[in-house]
Structure 1
Amino acid sequence: MRLDAAETARKLPYSELVAEIARVARQSASGAVSAPERLVVPLGNNASLLCMPAVAPDIGITKIITVHQQNARAGLPGIQGEVIVFDVATGRRLMMLDGPTVTARRTAAVTLLAIERLAARPPRNALLIGTGVQAEAHLEALFEYFQIRSFCVAGRELMSAVRFCEKLRATHPDVETTPVAVSSLDPTGVGSDVVIALTTSRTPVIPPHLPACTLAIGVGAFRPEMAELPEELLRTRRIVVDHLKGAEHEAGDLLQAGVDWSQVTELSQLLEREVAPQSGSYAFKSVGHASWDLAAARVALRHL
């Protein structure tokens, strides 16, 4: 059974997806879920082929994605691909999900889980840096999961932020969106409870002097040469990542800042009920992992 983007989205409600990602994070940490490092094959012209398998006792998945950052200029999708789901016991193919939709929703769900564990208080507003597919998915996720209705959206150019906000007002009339240019952001942010960068920038875009009560999250940068979180901010924060081994190879923000990896915490360590996050301000870095796609596949299977 092959599901298109709309069908895939309907089978991945955020409330269930966040809970399943937390479950899979624990299973991955214990070794019950196996997922090798993401294979990245350069395609030239700043494009890549990503192959991400993951296996659990019940099901396995393989996600095959192509990323072409220049496609937007031609009106084509920048991310294309599929997630193939199979039964581990027999190898029987169970379904095929739309890859970009799975990526967008499971990535936003990881962010929701991080906010739930690391934010000083339930967020009432958010600053999103970026105007692409991930920014749209995160706005929808934050609205649905935390009922956030006030967003500031920063684009590389002001007009890209304006167009993004106009599009969102048509689909989410109850949401207030304020467009700004990244270059005009104040070093202390805009008074947001959470700041989320969703870009492929090679230079940090998150303001360096955010208040301690503001949670900083970097999502978009997934290569060593990319960076969204500034070194100045990282030096003042406890650093948490979605998957430690992946971050050690792909989190350009942390690699360029020369962080002490022994002081970096994996999100799975903060998910046990008896373990509460330490006091202090946090920076969360997400690089993605095939385990999160497996979590999405489990949720989708329950809704077939």
Structure 2
Amino acid sequence: MQLFDPTHTAAALPYSRLVPALALAAQELAAKAILAPERLVVPVDAASVLLCMPAVAADISVTKLVTVHPDNARHALPVIQGEVVVFDTATGRRLALLDGPTVTARRTAAMTLLGIATLAPCRPASVLIIGTGAQAAAHVDALVQFFGVARFCVAGTSAAGAQAFCQALRGRHAGVEAIALEAASLRHELPETDVVIALTTSKTPVIPVDVGAHTLAVGVGAFKPDMAEFPPELLRRRQIVVDDLAGARHEAGDLIQAKADWNGVVELAALLSGQRPRPALVPVFKTVGQAAWDLAAARVALGG
């Protein structure tokens, strides 16, 4: 069995291969060629949870086990810990053990890249990132590497946090422009940008209502029914596209709280397969994650 630490897991998952692997997995999931039930969420304590996410395909299968302990900073430990177990479907033989948080960060960012490639009216040159956590950092790296984005605005809850994030960003990517903003300022002035991506755990909308007509808005961070990054007004104005419809019905707090008409919500796989036409106007894209995306990452890591 191959063992991948975080560094080796990241190196095994280049976005140039991960994005098309996700496009294939999304269509296989829709066609039931990948079987992946909704993730099992088991409370550990009042704030912490254990997540179990299995997926089975004809070639390989995976199970991701992840623990989320929000108070781990006081123990000098990461909030999210876990692993992805990969095995041969025909025999059950264990093939690999991948670092769970690294797989999650990269496949989540890759799904955003796939959404942008499918839904945005043009290749993005500028992006507004709302959030300064690990997912925000993964998304910035992915956008630079995959699209060559060179202009970022980064909105954080504090100016100091946003400044620190931008400084680290510029240190990783020479020549990239990064402007720090306070998230509260977006209520009054929204920078002109090709894409807005929210990566928070906010319980109140952080994406401005007045996003430009040609700007794609992506919501990534709100993954519980009581969380929301999209304002209801924006969801009512635009076509809603999701990465996984079944998961979104139970986990996309933005859509649940806005009482979205689920009959009108489109799954990305239907657009990729041509079963549904691409929206004439720029939609919004909401992701909640899926074990099938971990399976796609495992295929890439194993060289499939």
Please, what TM-score do these two structures have when normalized by structure 1? Answer: 0.97
- For 2:108 and 2:255, the matched residues in 1 are separated by 19
| Equivalent position SS for 2:302 | helix
C-alpha displacement of 1:110? 0.4
- What stretches of structure 1 of length at least 5 have no aligned partner? none
Counterpart-to-counterpart distance in 2, 1:35 and 1:282 = 27
RMSD of aligned Cα (Å) = 1.3
Between the aligned partners of 1:259 and 1:275, the Cα distance in structure 2 is 19
Note the C-alpha offset of 1:291: 0.3
Q: Determine the structure 1 residue equivalent to 2:177.
A: 176
Aligned CA distance change for structure 1 residues 75 and 191 (closer, same or farther; 3 Å): farther
Counterpart of 2:8 in structure 1 is: 7
Structure 1 residue 49 displacement after superposition: 1.0
Task: Provide the C-alpha distance between the structure 1 equivalents of 2:190 and 2:55, rounded to a whole number of angstroms.
Answer: 38
Alignment of 1:96-245 (within 5 A): 96-186=97-187, 189-245=190-246
Q: 1:186 Cα shift?
A: 4.2
Contact preservation (8 Å) 1:188, 1:207: no
List per-residue Cα deviations over 1:136-170 (Å, max 9, x = no partner).
Answer: 11001000111001000111111111111111222
Equivalence for 1:79 = 80
Give the whole-Å Cα distance in 2 for the aligned partners of 1:32 and 1:274: 17
1:279 matched to 2:280? The reply is: yes
Cα distance in 2 for partners of 1:187, 1:48 equals 37
Out of 44-53 and 218-227, give the one that drifted further: 44-53
SS at match of 1:302: coil
TM-superposed deviation, 1:189: 2.4
Amino acid across the alignment from 2:58 = P
CA–CA distance in structure 2, aligned partners of residues 64 and 110 of structure 1 = 20
Q: Deviations over 1:9-67 (max 9, x none)?
A: 00000010000000011111111000000111122242211110000001000000111
Shift in Å, 1:281: 2.2
3-state DSSP of counterpart to 2:34: coil
Deviation of 1:272 (Å): 2.4
The aligned length equals 303
Aligned to 2:294: 293
The worse-fitting range, judged by mean Cα deviation, of 271-280 and 254-263 is: 271-280
Report which stretch shifted further, 155-164 or 66-75: 66-75
Between the aligned partners of 2:181 and 2:76, the Cα distance in structure 1 is 23
Q: How far apart are the structure 1 equivalents of 2:219 and 2:150? A: 21
**Cα distance per residue 1:45-92 (max 9 Å; x no partner):** 422111100000010000001112233455421111000000011100
1:246-283 CA-partner distances (Å, limit 9, x unpaired): 00000000000000000000000010268641211211
* TM-score normalised by length of structure 2: 0.97
- Relative to structure 1, is the Cα distance of residues 187 and 230 closer, same or farther in structure 2, using a 3 angstrom cutoff? farther
